[in-house]
Amino acid sequence: MGRIVCFGELLLRLTAPGRELLLQTARLDVHVGGAEANVAIGLARLGHETAMVSRVPDNALGEAAIGHLRRYGVAADGVAAGPGRMGLYFLSPGAGLRPSDILYDRAQSSFALAGPEDFDWGVLLAGADQLHLSGITPALGRRSAEAAVAAAEAARGAGLLVSFDGNYRAQLWEQWDGDPKAILGRLVGQADILFGNHRDISLLLGQSFSGEGEERRREAAEAMFAAFPQLKLIASTARHVVDADTHRIAARVDAPEGAAQTGEVVVPGIIDRIGAGDAFAAGILHGLRSGLDLDGIVRAGLALTCLKHSLAGDASLFGRRDILAFLAGELDVRR
């Protein structure tokens, strides 16, 4: 297999310590983040060859982000320095019945300033068999949207598998006059694999779906396969929030010929839910690249997303053994 190239913005996440509000005390914890980077790291930790394509400033912050990728086995030759600043986001973790809250500070970042002419996809996709990107990149602005579309079209034109995570971020889209339905539709039109649920599909197709639970998700998936016949797989999770510490999560994959759905897993004692969707994407892609059937693929995705809740930071750092242990129900100390 070739490498998996992930395209998106590298960020710094500044988090209030413990369960505090932002600047309740004059301290912030720092993690390197970014949806696509999280997928690259998650897959690298599972033994897959991954590479990141991005832009960062030529300073200590950009260097730290690149070092973070390399620390976990992600090739960073495609991360170049450019004008602008490091993108940031601030997190106030939830507690009890108070939800987590995110504040973005990404305007004029090195990545947001880059356009399609800044990426030589003939070089950047050499040796790759898959491109992964998400709807966060086009939400950053017109140039980022053009860059995302160019990346997806180049990958599809080169015969690579394209995976796309909808990752709709209303706060980002509201900052410019973009048309998310049209732009995301162009990206999905290049994709083989879509990460998104019935709400994402409703946005893309401009229609609602009847029924409940599995029935509604299948109806939405079938409508998506009809509208985008090149799609081979749609993967999604369903999350029920009990409180900030306890969620119930199920996972599902749909293919044109059938589907697989897990039962709900109770995830207690949550340390950090940020990046759980990216961990799910990494688990699904791991299952696909490992040759698993639909049931095996969805169980791998569920395992990795549930495990991510136990780990501080944006990315999953778990390996294959951890997935197997989770699926086997191992909870005692491993000696």
Burial (CB < 10 A; 0-12, 13-18, 19+), residue 96, is exposed
For a pLDDT cut of 90, what percent of the chain falls above it? 93
- Among 37-46, 227-236, 323-332, where is mean pLDDT lowest? 323-332
Domains of the chain (ranges plus CATH)? 3-326 (3.40.1190.20)
161: helix, strand or coil? strand
Residue with token string 């294959």: 320
Report the run of H or E that residue 120 belongs to, with start and end.
none
Q: How confident is the model at residue 307 (pLDDT cuts 50, 70, 90)?
A: very high
* Rounded-to-integer distance, Cα 78 and Cα 7, Å: 9
Pair 166, 195: CB distance under 8 Å: yes
* Rounded-to-integer distance, Cα 24 and Cα 28, Å: 10
Q: Directed axis angle between helix 276-289 and helix 294-308, to 10°?
A: 150
What pLDDT score does 334 carry? 60
Amino acid, res. 94: G
* Rounded-to-integer distance, Cα 190 and Cα 328, Å: 37
Over residues 104-150, the pLDDT tens digits come to: 999 999 999 999 999 999 999 999 999 999 999 999 999 999 999 99
Mean pLDDT of all residues in the chain?
A: 95
What pLDDT score does 212 carry? 75
Q: Return the active site residues.
A: 278
